[in-house]
């Protein structure tokens, strides 16, 4: 589904990603961990098509198509979804209207008719129940004045609405209380099937108890320096990153 | 011959054609002298620093279009707010069009200035109000000198006028270039309430220059809501001089929506003569190409316990230019004044400019005055966020800008007007906003 080869990316001539290789197959869950500033959010932004970053080398192949020249919205239309580490506030646009627009634009791009209002309402009801989101919440301006946890839960609500093929969850667990973490993880698991894939970026093993990864990667200094199974996350939780840094620097 | 000379030299002939034997005659004669002395404003004047009339004045305007042009309602229906029952005062090339209009004398007067200044039964109102709010600046004086036609609205006390009044000025382009000088007088007596929608619309691309003066008087506890829709064709320019004189406990609001036209200068002046007056001035400007829109506002707080609210939003694309010059004067006696002013702008293109300048002159010490102006670009992180959810760049931009201007729309009280403005904004931004945000 996703194949990243030797990806180098920089911002204002400062290299941040320096040769990433990563392959994600349908049905898989990958976890990416790594110290602060190692490039995890940059990698997710580059996959989602943020123009600020220059891809200087390498390629991103999504479902056999090189997506380098695709705009962010085109990538979204193809099924890539990014749950932001820091969701952006959009004053004056309600959650509901934002979702309506996002869904109908995606349908338009796929050559489909707009979703009938009745179906839209039903979908919104269903997904907000899944994530235990109060209906009143949906008429508020998107993310404006939302608490940290509310923003994250809302990100997963949007994911549930859009049903992407590849979801990248950038620190979706941070800011969530224990109950919310369970609800959100449960939501992600319900949406998971053999045809889609999830990449979770996290600092904590805790989330991975709920969303169990098939692979765990450590990103350090713009490279994936170690990959393993879910036990790698336990090892990191126990020992921190120093041993990996030593291995790399040796 | 330049435009000024042409105007001055045509004055006598003009006055001879209209009724000389009236109160207005003397007012006109004084006014032409003021204009002759002052001439058109130039950029040397502080208030005109950022707006040059040069390109507009160099046309050879026909001052008194002679041809009678008629237009079919079907062709211009779209310029009306046609989905509501309303009174209409419609002019074609400066002349009253009875078949497009719907006036009344039934308990209220919704009719013509030409009738009001010539018929004895209006004499008292004319003497009490005509030219009593307009300032003696050169452009207002020029309008006064040639004032002969426009809307005349008099609402006696205790009337709630249910139907809004639409004042529409069409120009047909029957002359190569046309100058129009409509003159409106609106007097709303005690406890009465009226809503007015005004529009200037050129039907061709021939140059049009409109120098309009509107005087609005709100007497005790009267309420006036005024909506200006400025979405004219690309060679039409407008100098709108509006003067609102308020008595105690009255509420007046003017919303100005500027989307079209070549050059627009709005001189909007509020004078508060009494306590507990409320004045609202709001506007949304969305322009591009080489368009120019200048909002020059004045709120004069004279007595205690009054409020004023100014909120102007501007979105500027291409090489368009905007000006906001908001002056608030709070006299020494005007204690407990609450004056709020905001002007927020988004520049979409590197070549667009906005000059924004608040001017507060506060002589009272117990007042609450706030003002703020911002100039920004579209929020890039918001753009990426929206696009990453599948909303294309253009729609994302439109949505952000629509949301930006939305709070000005929230105070529009006529739903059909709000809807129309929403549509105009969506069209202007090139997006399909299928819902009310
Ligand atoms: N737009 C930018 N301009 C300048 N530097 C940037 C930019 N984006 C990222 N960086 C830098 O790139 C490096 C990687 O940042 P990134 O946000 O990808 O790290 P991260 O792994 O997500 O960290 P964290 O765990 O703290 O979220 C950091 O040093 C950061 O300062
Ligand atoms: Mg990060």
Dist. CA B191–CA B248, nearest whole Å: 11
Residue among B223, B335, B356, B336 nearest B279 (CA): B223
The helix/strand/coil state of A200 is strand
In this complex, do A88 and B392 lie within 8 Å of one another by their Cβ atoms?
A: no
Residue A91 has pLDDT above 90, yes or no: no
Averaged pLDDT score across all residues of chain A:
94
Is the Cβ of A212 closer than 8 Å to some Cβ of chain B?
no
Is the Cβ of A158 closer than 8 Å to some Cβ of chain B?
yes
Q: Is B113 exposed, middle or buried (0-12, 13-18, 19+ CB in 10 A)?
A: buried
Dist. CA B145–CA B25, nearest whole Å: 9
**Residue A108 lies inside a defined structural domain of this protein:** yes
How long is chain B? 437
Ligand 1 pocket, residue A16 CB under 6 Å: yes
DSSP annotation of B77 reads: G
SS (HEC) of B163-225 = CCEEEEEEECCCCCCEEECCEEEEEECCCCEEEEEEEEEECCCCCEEEEEEEEEEECCCCEEE
Is the Cβ of B391 closer than 8 Å to some Cβ of chain A?
yes
Angle between helices B23-38 and B3-17 (to 10 degrees): 170
Dist. CA A180–CA A182, nearest whole Å: 5
List phi, psi (to 5°) of B189. Answer: -85, 175
**Residue A146 lies inside a defined structural domain of this protein:** yes
Ligand 1 pocket, residue A39 CB under 6 Å: yes
Around ion ligand 2, which residues have CB less than 5 A away? Answer: A 40-41, 85
The average pLDDT across A198-225 equals: 95
Read off the pLDDT of residues B330-350 as tens digits, 9 standing for 90 and up.
Answer: 999 999 999 999 999 999 999
Q: How far is B166 from chain A (nearest CA, A)?
A: 30
Dist. CA B184–CA B215, nearest whole Å: 6
Read off the pLDDT of residues B141-189 as tens digits, 9 standing for 90 and up.
Answer: 999 999 999 999 999 999 999 999 999 999 999 899 999 999 999 999 9
User: CA-based diameter of chain B, in Å?
Assistant: 71
Write the residue in B382, B399, B403 that is nearest to A88 by C-beta.
B382
CATH number at residue A23: 3.40.50.300
- C-alpha dist (Å) from residue B219 to A174, B129, B163, B247, B255: 60, 12, 20, 5, 20
Residue A141 has pLDDT above 70, yes or no: yes
Read off the pLDDT of residues B28-57 as tens digits, 9 standing for 90 and up.
Answer: 999 999 999 999 999 999 999 999 999 999
DSSP annotation of A138 reads: G
Residue A225 has pLDDT above 60, yes or no: yes
Dist. CA A68–CA B23, nearest whole Å: 76
Residue among B216, B244, B246 nearest B151 (CA): B216
Q: What is the pLDDT of residue B436?
A: 47
Angle between helices B3-17 and B138-145 (to 10 degrees): 30
Dist. CA A175–CA A151, nearest whole Å: 9
Q: What is the pLDDT of residue B1?
A: 76
The average pLDDT across B353-377 equals: 94
Res. B130 pLDDT band, cuts 50 70 90: very high
Residue B20 has pLDDT above 80, yes or no: no
Helices (H), chain A: 40-48, 72-77, 95-109, 117-130, 148-162, 178-191, 205-210, 231-239, 242-249
Q: What is the pLDDT of residue B437?
A: 40
Number of helices and strands (H, E) in chain B? 10, 20
The ligand placed nearest to the CA atom of residue A219 is: 1
**Residue A37 lies inside a defined structural domain of this protein:** yes
Domain layout of chain B by residue ranges: 3-273, 380-406+418-437
Res. B433 pLDDT band, cuts 50 70 90: low
A117: which chain B residues are within 8 Å (Cβ-Cβ)?
none
SS (HEC) of B345-373 = EEECCCCCEEEEEEEEEECCCCCEEEEEE
Count of structural domains within chain A: 1
Dist. CA B67–CA B206, nearest whole Å: 15
**Residue A135 belongs to domain spanning:** 2-239
CA closest to B436 among chain A residues: A97
CB A111 within 8 A of CB A167: no
């Amino acid at each position: 589904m996703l194949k990243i080869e030797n990806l180098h990316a920089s911002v204002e001539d400062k290299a941040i990603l320096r040769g990433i290789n990563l392959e994600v197959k349908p049905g898989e869950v990958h976890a990416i961990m790594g110290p602060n500033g190692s490039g995890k959010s940059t990698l997710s932004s580059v996959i989602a098509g943020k123009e600020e970053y220059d891809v200087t080398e390498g390629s991103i192949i999504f479902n056999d198509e090189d997506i380098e020249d695709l705009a962010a919205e085109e990538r979204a239309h193809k099924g890539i979804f990014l749950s932001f580490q820091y969701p952006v506030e959009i004053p004056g646009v309600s959650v509901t209207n934002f979702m309506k627009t996002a869904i109908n634009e995606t349908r338009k791009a796929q050559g489909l008719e707009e979703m009938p209002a009745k179906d839209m309402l039903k979908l919104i009801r269903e997904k907000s129940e899944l994530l235990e989101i109060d209906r009143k919440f949906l008429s508020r301006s998107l993310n404006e004045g939302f608490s940290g946890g509310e923003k994250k839960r809302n990100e997963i609500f949007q994911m549930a609405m859009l049903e992407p093929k590849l979801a990248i969850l950038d620190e979706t667990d941070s800011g969530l209380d224990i109950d919310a973490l369970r609800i959100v993880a449960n939501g992600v698991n319900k949406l998971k099937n053999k045809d889609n894939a999830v990449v979770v970026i996290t600092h904590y093993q805790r989330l991975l108890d709920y969303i169990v990864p098939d692979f765990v990667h450590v990103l350090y200094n713009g490279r994936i320096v170690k990959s393993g199974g879910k036990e790698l996350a336990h090892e990191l939780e126990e020992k921190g990153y120093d041993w990996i840094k030593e291995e790399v620097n040796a | 011959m330049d435009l000024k000379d042409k105007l001055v030299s045509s004055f006598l002939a003009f006055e001879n054609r209209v009724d000389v034997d009236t109160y207005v005659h003397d007012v006109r004669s004084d006014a032409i002298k003021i204009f002759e002395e002052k001439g058109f404003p130039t950029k040397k004047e502080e208030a005109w620093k950022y707006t040059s009339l040069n390109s507009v004045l160099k046309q050879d305007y026909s001052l008194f279009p002679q041809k009678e042009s008629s237009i079919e309602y079907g062709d211009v229906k779209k310029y009306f707010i046609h989905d509501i029952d309303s009174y209409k005062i419609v002019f074609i090339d400066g002349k009253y069009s009875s078949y497009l209009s719907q006036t009344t004398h039934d308990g209220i007067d919704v009719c013509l200035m030409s009738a009001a200044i010539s018929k004895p039964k209006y004499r008292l109102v004319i003497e009490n109000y005509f030219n009593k709010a307009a300032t003696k600046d050169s452009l207002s004086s020029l309008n006064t000198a040639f004032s002969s036609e426009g809307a005349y609205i008099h609402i006696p006390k205790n009337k709630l006028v249910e139907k809004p009044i639409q004042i529409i000025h069409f120009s047909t382009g029957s002359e190569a270039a046309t100058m129009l000088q409509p003159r409106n007088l609106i007097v709303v007596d005690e406890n009465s309430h009226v809503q007015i929608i005004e529009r200037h619309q050129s039907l061709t691309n021939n140059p049009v220059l409109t120098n309009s003066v509107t005087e609005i008087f709100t007497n005790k506890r009267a309420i006036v809501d005024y909506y200006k829709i400025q979405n004219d064709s690309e060679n039409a320019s407008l100098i709108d001089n509006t003067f609102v004189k308020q008595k105690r406990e009255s509420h007046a609001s003017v919303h100005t929506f500027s989307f079209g036209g070549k050059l627009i200068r709005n001189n909007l002046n509020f004078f508060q003569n009494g306590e507990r007056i409320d004045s609202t001035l709001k506007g949304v400007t969305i322009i591009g190409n080489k368009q120019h829109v200048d909002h020059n506002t004045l709120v004069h707080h004279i007595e205690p316990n009054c409020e004023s609210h100014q909120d102007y939003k501007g979105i500027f694309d291409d090489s368009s230019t905007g000006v906001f010059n908001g002056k608030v004067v709070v006299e020494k006696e005007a204690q407990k004044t609450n004056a709020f002013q905001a002007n927020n702008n988004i520049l979409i293109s590197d070549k667009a400019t906005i000059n924004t300048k608040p001017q507060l002159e506060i002589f009272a010490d117990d007042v609450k005055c706030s003002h703020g102006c911002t100039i920004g670009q579209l929020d890039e992180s918001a753009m990426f966020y929206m696009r990453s959810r599948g909303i294309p760049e253009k729609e994302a931009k439109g949505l952000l800008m629509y949301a930006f201007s939305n709070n000005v729309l929230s105070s529009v009280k006529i739903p059909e007007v709000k809807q129309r403005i929403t549509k105009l904004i969506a069209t202007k931004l090139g997006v399909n906003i299928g819902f009310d945000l």
